[in-house]
Amino acid sequence: MHREKLEVAAKELLKNDPTGHDIYHSMRVYNLAKEIAKKEGWQFDDDILFAIAMLHDAGHERSIRTGDKYRYKHMEYSAEIAKRVLAEVGFPEQKIPVVLQGILQHDQTKPWGLANRIPTDIKEILLIQDADNLEAIGILGMVRVLVFNIQAGTPLYKPELSLTKDLEKSRLESAIHNLIWHLSLGDNLNTKAAKKMVQERKIQARNFLDQFLKEWNGRTD
Ligand SMILES: [Fe+2]
Ligand SMILES: [Fe+2]
């Protein structure tokens, strides 16, 4: 019962998201996390996995509204919103702390998540981290990253900046640099299954980038 209510609440919270952090992203994160668990042979608590997936990005809207351009605070905002929503839908009380921890830690493999970097061996959290990172890589991932950058007002591309060096600095300078930087998230995956799944996504992303640069430079070969 709380599951249906939670899904309805998540749909409402995410309905106006303009940057690919919508209910469809939450659903894909949930499904990807389950697929990874199956491949790893991991047992997990489905209530916890579902709740983290549904609400992990609910704070984006507040980030946009409060001028947090790169959404560095969205995990904290999501956790605050989740605390309220989980109580409202009657989510099992004893499972709420781990859901909140998972929401706070879902971005911890990214630089802005370092403040929250607490080693965890909680399977549901490791699964969500991998699923969320996979969502930023590949064709769909690239479209999401591009839309995010457009929304943040980042220029499309700055050819004067290296595509291989100092990406930590240049990732906020152009959407294409940001795209390339996001591929590095594939090096920080927790599970063998996700490491395997990211390979095809990286190939697709590289092909896209090669073609983009070819066309940018006016090459026809
Ligand atoms: Fe997030
Ligand atoms: Fe996400």
Confidence band of 72 (pLDDT split at 50, 70, 90): confident
Helix, strand, or coil here: 193? helix
Distance 208 CA to ligand 2 centre (A): 22
Interval 56-69 mean pLDDT: 91
| Per-residue model confidence as pLDDT tens digits over 133-181 | 999 999 999 999 999 999 889 999 999 999 999 998 899 999 999 999 9
Q: How far apart are CA 151 and CA 48, in angstroms?
A: 31
Distance 220 CA to ligand 2 centre (A): 37
DSSP 40-56: HT----HHHHHHHHHHT
Domains of the chain, earliest start first: 1-121 (1.10.3210.10), 136-221 (1.20.58)
| Per-residue model confidence as pLDDT tens digits over 94-117 | 999 999 999 999 987 666 665 556
Mean pLDDT for the chain? 93
Distance 13 CA to ligand 1 centre (A): 14
Select from 101, 15, 5, 95 the least CA-distant residue to 58: 15
Residue pointed to by tokens 């609400």 = 55
**Ligand at shortest distance from the CA of 26:** 2
Per-residue pLDDT at 69: 82
Helix, strand, or coil here: 34? helix
Distance 220 CA to ligand 1 centre (A): 38
Interval 68-85 mean pLDDT: 92
DSSP 202-218: HHHHHHHHHHHHHHHTT
Select from 150, 131, 177 the least CA-distant residue to 34: 131
Distance 38 CA to ligand 1 centre (A): 23
Q: How far apart are CA 82 and CA 153, in angstroms?
A: 29
Look at residue 28 and tell me whether its pLDDT is greater than 60.
Answer: yes
Confidence band of 192 (pLDDT split at 50, 70, 90): very high
Q: How far apart are CA 177 and CA 168, in angstroms?
A: 9
Per-residue pLDDT at 119: 77
**Ligand at shortest distance from the CA of 71:** 1
Select from 97, 1, 104 the least CA-distant residue to 48: 97
Distance 134 CA to ligand 1 centre (A): 12
Confidence band of 41 (pLDDT split at 50, 70, 90): very high
